[in-house]
Amino acid sequence: MDTQLDLWEVFIQGKSGGQFMHVGSVHASDKEMALKYARDLYTRRNEGSAIWVVLSTNIVASLPEDAEMFFDPANDKIYRHPTFYTMPEGALQI
Amino acid sequence: MEKNEALKKFLLRLGDNALIQGHRLSEWCSRGPMLEEDIALSNLALDNIGRAQAFLDYAGHFYTNPLSADDLAFKRSERQYFNFLMAELPVGHFGFTIAKQLYISAYEELLFEALTQSTDETIAAIAHKAVKEARYHFSHAADWCVRLGLGTAESHDKLGSAMTDLWAYTQEFFEMTDGDLLLLQLGIAPDQNQIKKVWTDKVNKVFMRAGYVMPAECYQYSGSQQGIHTEYLGHLLCEMQYLQRSHPQAAW
């Protein structure tokens, strides 16, 4: 018998307004359980102010064998990086 | 009864409840039904130990020769402990622990909510932190009651009989000594009769959500206000206090 329950992916927001970062996963049988386990496992050291949990099966992932087709074409398109602009004086980043 | 004596006893009861419950919950560490729940139960244990430290530390101030939280935790014997009998009962199976958690955390959420209004500032400050923890403990227990209650026939029966067996230890929560009545007059401690009404309603809602009816009135155990305990507390203290008793003053 599989006693591992469903797999959920956990995303934590560090500060209000910030982005949610993927931090890991938990096993749980329902969404309340997943949220509480995510809280217990990933925010015990004050890491977060909000949590998202998503059933892992609801995530659509690219396949390793598609990697060449997906990502290699971007390799030689350096003009897509905004590095051809002159930085305004005093600006640290654009 | 003198106010300080009443306050000391009240604080010991709060501290002992947290310490003994925390110790029992810590027994789940490495034995949880799955990794996530193991960590969840250990978190609950740590909340309790932290709360025990706060209340016992404050209680220590009311001794003629002030005692530390560690002195009070590791150098008293059964008869000097005032925790609820329910807290010291062995963890049993997972459903039994959840039933204990439901009754105690429902009570503690209401108690600490009331204590945030205490005229004693230290108690109010500890309660302010503790109420958030208790709210989570209750939510954790209530979720599990619904899951087990509406789960399989076996989970329904196991949780149901645990809740019925433990019912005999619930009314002790609301006992008030003469000291407690004095503290109520002074606005330091709440009226347990008020808490009892809300508690009964709060617990009954979980029974209904989980597919149970409230246990019938039954014989109620009592004694912990006088330091009279079940046979289990001595064994628990034996293990918990072993190091300090065998190697007095050991520190690290």
d(CA A32, CA A39): 11
Closest partner residue to A37 among B36, B139, B147, by Cβ?
B36
Smallest Cα–Cα separation from B166: which of B147, B141, B190?
A: B141
d(CA A32, CA B139): 10
Reported as a single tens digit per residue, the pLDDT across B138-158 is: 999 999 999 999 999 999 999
Cβ contacts of B139 on chain A, cutoff 8 Å: 36
Closest partner residue to B39 among A3, A28, A40, by Cβ?
A40
The per-residue pLDDT for B146 is 98
The confidence band for B186, taking pLDDT boundaries of 50, 70 and 90, is very high
Cβ contacts of A33 on chain B, cutoff 8 Å: 143, 147
**B18 contacts: CB under 8 Å, gap ≥ 6:** B48, B49, B51, B52, B55
**How distant, in Å, are the alpha carbons of B105, B124, B159, B246 from that of B98?**
10, 28, 8, 34
User: For residue B211, which amino acid is it?
Assistant: G
Reported as a single tens digit per residue, the pLDDT across B14-23 is: 999 999 999 9
d(CA B226, CA B203): 27
What is residue B214's DSSP assignment?
A: P
Is B165:B80 a contact under the CB 8 Å cutoff? no
Is B131:B109 a contact under the CB 8 Å cutoff? yes
Closest partner residue to A32 among B36, B40, B143, by Cβ?
B143
Contact call for B36 and A3, based on CB within 8 A: no
The per-residue pLDDT for A1 is 54
Residue B82: count of CB within 10 angstroms of its CB: 22
Contact call for B34 and A27, based on CB within 8 A: yes
Q: In degrees rounded to 5, what are phi and psi of residue B243?
A: -65, -50
* Predicted-complex ipTM score: 0.84
Q: What region, left, alpha or beta, does residue A78 occupy, with left being phi > 0 and alpha being psi -120 to 50 degrees? A: alpha
**pLDDT at residue B30 is higher than 90:** yes
Residue with structure tokens 């604080």?
B11
Nearest C-alpha in B relative to A45: B43
Contact call for B39 and A41, based on CB within 8 A: yes
Contact call for B34 and A32, based on CB within 8 A: no
- Give every residue of chain A whose pLDDT is below 70, as ranges: 1-3, 93-94
Cβ contacts of A29 on chain B, cutoff 8 Å: 147
Contact call for A44 and B43, based on CB within 8 A: yes
